[in-house]
Structure 1
Amino acid sequence: MEQAEVPPQRAVCDPCPNEDAVASIWSTLCNGFSAGKHWLLLLLQSLQNVRTTPLAHSLATYRQMVNWDEACIRCIAIHPTSRHQALITSEDIVHLFVNWVDPAAQLQAPEQVDLYCVAYRPCTNRELAVGCAAGIYIWRNVSSQLWGKRLLSHKAHIHVTSVQWNQPGTTLVSVAMGSRQIIVWNTDSAQTIRMLSASISFLLYSPDFQLLFGASSDAGADVCYVERRCWQLEHILAERPIQTAAWTAGSTYLLFVQKDDTHLYSITRYADLGVFLKPQLFWTFELVADLHEIFVLGKQKHHGQAQAIAVDPLNIYLAVIYKRQPFVLLCKLSMKKHAKLRIIPWEYIHCDDEQARGQCAYATCMCFGHAKENGRRRTLTIGWNTGYYQVEWLKTDNYKRCI
């Protein structure tokens, strides 16, 4: 870099004509402004990748996670048809595994900070989407050890809190903190296909991919009827701030817990057949259980507020994470025809890391594995605030690892 020419130094006692004095003052001001602008630009560039405390706390309200700003493990995603898994840590690193045994890769980038969510692209285990402060990073495995990345960004869509692929993996849907838009992306061209006006913090495709549930921690919830040409939004849970939600297999029920509440509710869709060729769906609302008061072996236990729920792909289990409780509650689902949906408390899953026993360990996130009819691959993976993750084989033995 070429240095600016330095004017001759002038002694304090040297005489200075008026014109020379004015020129000197003007030159000094210009040099000072130029130097100030340079340092300001450097400061702004350095602040792009620095998270602030108010931001971290505000982001925590948009997640089903316990204490997002403190949790070592923030998100777990398992590929729906293979043995590949992804795990996000507070160090803004995406850890990739094969069957939780072989570390496959660690994905990180300078601009990829404040990671929130991760989702594998269907039909391939070599590509995944990661939501972060800069937007959405699309990572693709181009060789055995090399991963390439592309950034999907929009000026009004930063700090992405939820991403969902459609069934064939041709489009990606995302929502972001503070944004009033749902964006549908064509990831191959990095272009937006459509933008829907809605204040949403997390998304959930129904298992049949006919409905897209979008919920907010302060503005209720919407259901989007997904069609090729038209996406229609319907507000179904007005004035009910949603804490966590999960679809049952077959898209029969949508289970949810409201913010600052202890009750588990369900909504079910029915078609008003009548004489319409395309019947209008309507929703029935029902209380399922109080997750605070649980009866186990005839004894009543109080657990507080539920933070997150998850449903087994075979509709056998429902798992519940509570705020700062040292266990995960595993329940069985009772979904008999023409009968009310019920849950049966089954067992408590505690952290089995010996080093974490004295550290007040509590679960921060979880994910059910893909299902097999023989049950050998029905798993529940739990991330603990200490950085330990635990894989529970629900019908056989346990396997666990610690990052």
Structure 2
Amino acid sequence: MYPNRDRFIPQRMNGRTAYGPPVLNFQNRMLVERAVQRLSRLWLSFGQHFAFVRKVFELIFGRLRNWVHIRLGRVPPTVRDLAASIETCNWPTASIRYIACHPTGMERALLTSMDVALLYSDMRVPPQRLTSAKQRHVTCAAFRPWSSSELAVGGAGGICLWKPLPTTMMMPGPAMMKLTWYGYKPKDFIVDLQWLQTGTHLVSATLGNRRIQIWHPELKQLMQELNVPLPGTHCWVMRYQSDMLHLISFLKSDAPILRYRNSLKTWSNQLTKRMPIQTAAWTARGNHLMYVVKGSSKVYGSTSSMVMGPFRHPFMVWSSSEVIDLRSFYCNWQQHEGGLVQSMVMDPLNVYVAFMFKRRPFVLLCLLHIPFNCSLKLKPMQLIRSADGHPEAFPTCITFGFMDRVARHRDRSLVIGWSTGRLQIEELIAQTREEALLFEELEIRHPQQVFEIDLY
């Protein structure tokens, strides 16, 4: 019955001789019980350690849920994800969600919490109200450069492009607007828009993937999708103030290892080693990038430089350094508490940079300086508070634009949307950094204009 009978002791069972395992004595039994107890303790200890490791992983992955590219890579994004990743402060209930200013004109567009786009040609005249059933969860808007009234509005599922009807363009009064729908994905959100300088193509960025879309408005179709090497956000791409066609060509090129795309990808992966980017802005020539990572008050600046590689082939090398920490800063010889940065916008002339914080009652206006085109420097200049003096008012969105008047030098303005439903316009007279420093020395305040926005 047993192949190795020498290991077993013959035992008498039911009148037959059977071979079985030897009967354990007391000492052997104690050894077996101790071994079983040790195994049980080891198992319990493993279970406790496993529970601890599980809690650690839950904590880590709970932190990683703030990383949009990790959470949204598997499941479609929700409105809660949109509210957590958008730069608008308190986006679900913000009266003014976004402000778009024409790049060369004085037209403005305001996106409200009612998913309505208010189109202004003059702030003293009632606006045109652009509404549609497809225009839901609006997040961004952009004017077509060579048109004063063509407006693209991004939101849930795609883009709404509003154009004036040809039959009403020559008639007095506001023109009738025609809606063209560019559908992308029903369960995704368009979070950023930008026209090329020629106005021939529209570029958009979505929340649920790491791609940017290139649309052809005349053909009414999506021309191409490009992969963005930086995960988590696309604002560093969309805020390219130079002709974005150059940046698109970098993203499209499948170049060897020594080309720009590879160095850009390596640098972008270094940027998001800890957290994705919350807000970013390029300088006018596109050789400097300022950015703030999520959940941080530190502003970083990245600079590119040309390096000669092997075989005398030039390629771009990027380096990043901290510019300023806005958790606590000095402005007008007084210390102020800033906190976590919510949004940042760059002046088209690269004179000012404006910062908006999470539910703080002011906007910080800083002076930008790039000495010898090497590194970025910021100097806090002025704290801009609500003109009506409301104690609980906080800015929801900010942008730069032009004033509502024609002058020899078209003065720029900082446009601020407040949680109280008011639009505040700060006139920026300085055209250079030296003029801005002179105005600060003479303590000249910027002229203000405040407008009450009718949401209904």
* Superposition deviation, residue 151 in structure 1: 0.7
What RMSD over aligned residues (CA atoms) do the two structures have, in Å? 2.8
1:261 is aligned to 296
2:394 is aligned to 362
Q: Supply the AA of the counterpart residue of 1:350.
A: R
1:332 is aligned to 367
Cα distance in 1, alignment partners of residues 425 and 254 from structure 2: 41
Cα distance in 1, alignment partners of residues 222 and 373 from structure 2: 43
Q: Deviations over 1:158-195 (max 9, x none)?
A: 32111121121111121222234322111211212112
Q: Any conservation in 2 of the 1:210–1:226 contact (CA below 8 Å)?
A: no
Cα distance in 1, alignment partners of residues 116 and 227 from structure 2: 31
Structure 2 gap segments, 5+ residues each:
1-76, 169-173, 430-445
1:76 is aligned to 99
* Superposition deviation, residue 91 in structure 1: 0.7
Task: Check if 1:145 corresponds to 2:175.
Answer: yes
Structure 1 residues 277, 366: closer, same or farther in 2, change over 3 A?
farther
1:399 is aligned to 449
Query: Could you state the TM-score of these two structures normalised by the residue count of structure 2?
Result: 0.68
Cα distance in 2, alignment partners of residues 300 and 141 from structure 1: 50
Q: Per the alignment, in what secondary structure is the counterpart of residue 249 of structure 1?
A: coil
Q: Supply the AA of the counterpart residue of 2:206.
A: A
Cα distance in 1, alignment partners of residues 232 and 119 from structure 2: 28
Q: Deviations over 1:321-358 (max 9, x none)?
A: 0111110011111222166421111111011125xx14
Q: Any conservation in 2 of the 1:157–1:179 contact (CA below 8 Å)?
A: no
Q: Supply the AA of the counterpart residue of 1:384.
A: W
Q: Supply the AA of the counterpart residue of 1:246.
A: A
Cα distance in 1, alignment partners of residues 354 and 140 from structure 2: 19
Q: Deviations over 1:258-302 (max 9, x none)?
A: 101110001112222468787322211111000111012443322
Q: Supply the AA of the counterpart residue of 1:314.
A: L
* Superposition deviation, residue 226 in structure 1: 5.6
Q: Supply the AA of the counterpart residue of 2:207.
A: M
Q: Any conservation in 1 of the 2:210–2:233 contact (CA below 8 Å)?
A: no
1:105 is aligned to 128
More divergent stretch after superposition (80-89 vs 170-179): 170-179
Aligned length: 338
Q: Deviations over 1:219-256 (max 9, x none)?
A: xxxx8726699995842223241011111222231111
2:218 is aligned to 188
Cα distance in 2, alignment partners of residues 373 and 284 from structure 1: 40
Cα distance in 1, alignment partners of residues 286 and 122 from structure 2: 27
Q: Supply the AA of the counterpart residue of 2:401.
A: G
Q: Per the alignment, in what secondary structure is the counterpart of residue 65 of structure 1?
A: coil
Q: Any conservation in 1 of the 2:213–2:226 contact (CA below 8 Å)?
A: yes
Q: Any conservation in 1 of the 2:303–2:374 contact (CA below 8 Å)?
A: no
Q: Any conservation in 2 of the 1:62–1:161 contact (CA below 8 Å)?
A: no
Q: Any conservation in 2 of the 1:157–1:175 contact (CA below 8 Å)?
A: no
- What is the aligned counterpart of 1:64 among 87, 92, 96? 87
> Which one has a larger percent strand, Structure 1 or Structure 2?
1
More divergent stretch after superposition (176-185 vs 121-130): 176-185
Q: Supply the AA of the counterpart residue of 1:97.
A: Y
Structure 1 residues 176, 157: closer, same or farther in 2, change over 3 A?
farther
Q: Per the alignment, in what secondary structure is the counterpart of residue 314 of structure 1?
A: coil
* Superposition deviation, residue 134 in structure 1: 2.9
Structure index of larger Rg: 2
* Superposition deviation, residue 212 in structure 1: 7.7
* Superposition deviation, residue 127 in structure 1: 1.0
* Superposition deviation, residue 56 in structure 1: 3.2
Query: Could you state the TM-score of these two structures normalised by the residue count of structure 1?
Result: 0.76
Q: Any conservation in 2 of the 1:128–1:139 contact (CA below 8 Å)?
A: yes
TM alignment of 1:3-402, pairs within 5 A: 55-142=78-165, 143=168, 144-155=174-185, 158-198=188-228, 199=231, 201-203=233-235, 204-210=238-244, 225=250, 234-235=264-265, 236=268, 237-239=271-273, 240-273=275-308, 279-337=314-372, 340-353=375-388, 357-358=390-391, 360-370=392-402, 377-395=411-429, 397-402=447-452
Q: Supply the AA of the counterpart residue of 1:114.
A: H
Q: Supply the AA of the counterpart residue of 2:94.
A: A
Cα distance in 2, alignment partners of residues 247 and 299 from structure 1: 29
Seq. identity, %: 33
Q: Any conservation in 2 of the 1:119–1:165 contact (CA below 8 Å)?
A: yes
> Which one has a larger percent helix, Structure 1 or Structure 2?
2
